[in-house]
Amino acid sequence: MSSPPIKRALISVSDKLGLVDFAQGLAAAGAEIYSTGGTRRHLEQSGIEVLDVAEYTGFPEMMDGRVKTLHPRIFAGILCRHDREDDMASLEEHEILSFELVVVNLYPFQATIAKPDVTKAQAIEQIDIGGPSLVRAAAKNARFTSIVTNPEQYSSVLDEVTESGCTTQETRDQLSAAAFAMTAEYDRAISGYFAESEVDGGFTRNMTISMRLKNELRYGENPHQQAAVYSMVGYSGANVVNARQLNGKDLSYNNLLDLDAALHIVRPFTEAACSVIKHNNPCGAATGDSLAEATRKAMAGDPLSAFGSILGMNRVVDEETAELLSEPGLFVEAIVAPDFSASAIGILTTKPKWRNNVRLMQVGTLEDQQVELSYRHIHGGMLVQDADVIADDYPGWEVVTETEPNEPLVSELKFAWQMVRHIKSNAIAVCREQSLVGAGAGQMSRVDSVEIAIRKAGDRTQGAVLSSDAFFPFPDSIHAAAEAGIAAIIQPGGSRGDESVIEACNEHGIPMIFTGRRHFKH
């Protein structure tokens, strides 16, 4: 059977953006329009002839609009199969009209629960009942019924109706898929809200994560792997998934991983900060009185590794910083920052050799990061944990050595402790003058990480500080640090070998702080 002509449209929407023009176009194409409540009044006020659903069903709206479209004369008209004689005979027998187009969007439940101090009663009143039922009925009968759930769909649907009086099967299938995705997302928001309201700490018994395709990527970590990036529905705040790309080639899977890591490092600093990421580990990071100073120090942390790196910044990229990055011999893949000045964009996209390729990612204001959940897929399930974003309790730190660090060393140790949480375990950070100058990452042995970090730092270990994401089980790393000229050490403590490690620090006159908290990053 060919596509049925759209004789009648049922319209009931909460979001009325663009509705008048759409309805006027449908009426001009010969479609009768049926509607309810506020939607009907909105259309009538614009001079559009609308038939009242209550008059058609013979059943008035009741309970403040809670019940209005839930009626057999509505659902039979939506669900009828136009190629079935028995279906069409049933319509004729009961004097029921068919609806070939349904236009519905739902009560704003998600927007309601996002408001501060919303009550449970207020949230409940924004749970749509009739709307999802209409949507599902029309989406189920996509062979004959078009379901429109988003104002963005109005234009293309109207073009088809105006041209041929109906929609194509391909369009109806696409609209149906979008409709089912919308109701699934809506139900997820509702179930998530009630699950959270019933749990005081801990985790909900059931978890549903709603995501939308943002972009397909050229490939994954390797060329033989297909990949895509999805945005998490309802997630707000500055992030690389929803960032605005101002310049450069399309982002890759690895680019996005590194951009996210780069932004995560600089986000908590109140001072100007820059991070330099290579293979999801920081090879440089620093703070400074200006962004240019922080960037210069960060790029100097490991100049060899910084070539072809990803940069994260917590300030608007200005002209001075852009000039610094345009110096001969430097090359960066991408930069993520709150924003870029016009002059900085002009420099970065015209001056260096890589001008056409560098990705410039604008994320907006870096607000304080709230505690959120971190998800990690494993075969057969998902690991879920609180993200490691809680600030450390500096007053709770304990100096465990005979020698105490002076105030400048304490400041350096705070910076080093902030850095080590971003390096893959076993993680060691060597820092000096608020800059990461040596990192040991991902080694099976902690002493190997110490040796790598010291080697990376070179002669900059003299007077530098060293941080470790977890305790030192043996004093061998302390002896290596002392030989390199490390001035102070910070670590969680808690090993059975703590006493021997403290004794080694006292032997070398190195002050050491126990934080009581580790920062594994696997």
List the catalytic residues. Answer: 140, 279
Strands 465-468 and 488-491 turn out to be parallel
Within 207-342, strands assigned E span: 211-217, 227-232, 244-247, 272-278, 281-288, 309-313, 332-337
β-pairing verdict for 101-104 and 8-12: parallel
CB 247 within 8 Å of CB 361: no
Enumerate residues 6+ apart whose C-beta is below 8 A from 20: 42, 43, 46, 48
List, in sequence order, every residue forming a beta bridge with 85; answer none if it has no partner: none
Residue 387 and residue 297: Cα distance in Å, rounded?
Answer: 28
Residues 6+ apart with CB under 8 A from 499: none
CA distances, 485 to each of 126, 245, 440, 454, 509 (Å): 64, 44, 17, 10, 11
Secondary-structure breakdown of the chain: helix, strand, coil percentages, each rounded to the nearest 5: 40, 20, 40
Q: How far apart are CA 480 and CA 44, in angstroms?
A: 82
Between CA 460 and CA 463 the distance in angstroms is 8
CB 376 within 8 A of CB 428: no
